[in-house]
Amino acid sequence: MASTKDEIQAASGPPTEVQTLARRATRTLDPQAGLQALTALRERLDELEMLQLSAAVEAGLSWAEIARLLGISRQGAHKRYSRRARGEPDDSRRPRRMLVTAEVRHAVQLARQEARALGAQVVGTEHLLLGILRCERSHATWVLRAMGAGLEDARAAAERTLASGEGHPSSGEPRHPAWRGLSPHARRVLERSMEEALDRGEGYIGVEHLLLAVVRDERGGAAQALRRMSIDPREVLGRLSEL
């Protein structure tokens, strides 16, 4: 029987997000990035713990057995996990702070570059899509590329959305500098990316949350660009949900 280490080494495809975060969390030359990765890693490990716990409950393990495996008391295990295992909301677990990862900041920066290159007056969701496609190590990017979304094709499709109204500035610029120069659609997408993370109980906004928000905006330029490339935004949403 292969060991867990052998199974991990034999796995094909890109590294999982947990593996990537674990590597970043061990880097000491950049403590700020290491702490950010550690925070995100805790959230991911919490998700994995709940998946295993739910599987254990469905498999018929008692709370005493679960507590023994977790190294805590039976009462502690039941109090901490029983509501979550039944799918009931646990507001105490919702993060109070929301970390915006460096990858998302980079994606927005790349989106601004794409908007300028296309001669757009503001950054629309189509430019956010292009910024995501330029993120080399994101699972969200791998999903798009696996579905046939190439960068040059996406640029050509995005250029045709500029006449739809999203590429025009709105009245009044927001005070927050990160939002300046963004279309109303793009601003709503950034807000929804935070909601996507909160709905999943995650304390950070990753590129995958940004893409989830992008594809949910069916009237936005990004969704139009995807459909021009014969990619259904709902299918993108489904594949992201499987990650």
Catalogue all structural domains in the chain, each as residue range(s) with its CATH number: 17-93 (no CATH), 99-242 (1.10.1780.10)
Mean pLDDT of 181-190: 85
Neighbours of 18 (CB within 10 A): 14
How much is the mean pLDDT over the chain?
76
Share of the chain above pLDDT 70, in %: 74
Q: Which residues pair with 205 in a beta bridge?
A: 100
pLDDT of 231 above 70: yes
How far apart are the C-alpha atoms of 239 and 28, rounded to whole Å? Answer: 34
Give strand pairing partners of 87.
none
The share of the chain scoring above pLDDT 90, in percent, equals 19
Q: What is the DSSP letter of 112?
A: H
What residue spans of 26-101 are helical by DSSP H? 31-58, 63-70, 74-85
Cα R_g (the chain), whole angstroms: 20
DSSP H helical ranges for 73-183: 74-85, 102-117, 125-133, 139-146, 151-159
Task: Answer whether 94's CB lies under 8 Å from 75's CB.
Answer: no
Averaged pLDDT, 132-143: 88
- Backbone phi, psi, residue 203, to 5°: -90, 20
0.75 exceeded by the pTM? no
Q: Which run of H or E residues covers position 190? A: helix 184-199
12-16, 171-175, 178-182: which range is least confident on average? 171-175
